[in-house]
Amino acid sequence: MRALSELLRKFHPAMSKYFSLIVTYDAVRAKAKLAVKMNAQLPYVDPKPKIDLLDARHPLLYLYNAAAGKKTIPFNLKLQGDERILVISGPNAGGKTVCRKTVGLLQLMLQAGFLVTVDGNSRFGIFKNVLVDIGDSQSLEFELSTYSSRLKHMKVFLEKSSSDSLFLIDEFGTGTDPSLGGALAESILEDLNYKKSVGIITTHYMNLKVLADKTKGIINGSMAFDSKKLIPLFRLEVGKPGSSYTFVVAERSGLPQSVIHRARKKVQKNNLLLEELLNKVEHEKAEVRA
């Protein structure tokens, strides 16, 4: 495409301008057709970094569910001011990753000139950089383990992050000894918060949930889980940490009760009590709703 444009510019400048105009119109038309297919909207756009989403849906998940006749569960999320960083916890396969990726994808789409899958009253800020750590980047070629590769990412995050940054981190602190990895993750999160960056992390670490509860600038969030039916509800609840339902999920997967019982005995008493308390709170909330 670029070679053709250069050729036209060389031999016929007027043709080059027409060609550029056609390309522009074609790109706009493609974006409009996609917006109609996704039922996308134009939100309010503010110059300052912020996230204020209403009825946000992952665009690809929405298209997949629409084709299958299924409903996509939306979520609301507001990150700005004294509540800039969201720590999402909860069970595996509960929707934490989808929520984090939705925020990042919608932000990049908007800044690339696309309409997005949110309510039109949503408000988007503009970020100068988006820092993402998702998945495993280990490499035999460069002698990187899972954890060392993630530390290289964190080094970049700490160097590049500012009040104009959005960061997204998956399973923060994992890949090494939990007690040591959790402590380092906590220190990194404190630094990102000090720089007033906006971000979302997913975690199962209890110390990060406690940090979010007591630190200005960081808030807890969780993905709802039906403790009676033992199924995720894919609903984001901001303001409280979530239980990982480790033993509940293990029972659901069919592990022998004797194995699960021994595992419960091996867990530190304080951690187990806190996990059971989170389970109880979520169970009581479900009963109140009913």
Per-domain residue ranges for the chain? 1-38, 42-289
Per-state percent for the chain, helix, strand, coil, to nearest 5: 50, 20, 30
Q: For residue 172, how many C-alpha atoms fall within 13 Å in the half-sphere facing its CB?
A: 32
Can you tell me the distance from the alpha carbon of 159 to that of 151, in angstroms, rounded to the nearest whole number? 12
Please tell me the predicted confidence (pLDDT) of residue 190. Answer: 96
- pLDDT value, residue 145: 57
Q: What is the pLDDT along the chain (290 residues), one digit of tens a residue?
A: 566 556 556 656 666 677 778 888 888 899 999 999 999 999 999 989 999 999 999 999 999 999 999 999 999 999 998 999 999 988 776 688 889 999 999 999 999 999 999 999 999 999 999 999 876 544 434 444 566 778 888 899 999 999 999 999 988 767 666 777 888 889 999 999 999 999 999 988 888 988 998 899 999 998 887 767 767 778 888 988 877 777 777 777 788 888 888 877 776 555 555 565 566 666 666 666 65
* Residue 6: CB atoms within 10 Å: 11
**By the 8 A CB rule, do 158 and 192 touch?**
yes
pLDDT of residue 280: 62
How many whole angstroms separate alpha carbon 218 and alpha carbon 239? 10
Strand partners, 44: 123
CA 236 to CA 95: how far, in whole Å?
8
What was the pLDDT predicted at 153?
A: 85
* CATH fold of 42-289: Rossmann fold (3.40.50)
What are the residues facing 168 on neighbouring strands?
Answer: 132, 200
Return the closest-CA partner of residue 87 out of 251, 234, 241. 241
CA–CA dist 288, 222 (Å, integer): 18
Q: Alpha helix locations (H) across the chain?
A: 2-11, 13-38, 59-68, 96-111, 146-160, 178-194, 206-214, 246-253, 257-266, 269-289
Predicted pLDDT of residue 22: 83
**Do the Cβ atoms of 125 and 48 come closer than 8 Å?**
yes
How many Å apart are CA 188 and CA 217, to the nearest integer?
A: 14
Of the chain, the end-to-end C-alpha distance in Å amounts to 59
**Under a CB-based contact definition with an 8 Å cutoff, are residues 80 and 194 in contact?**
no
Q: What pTM was computed for the model?
A: 0.81
The torsion defined by the Cα of 163, 168, 173 and 174, in degrees rounded to 10, comes to -170
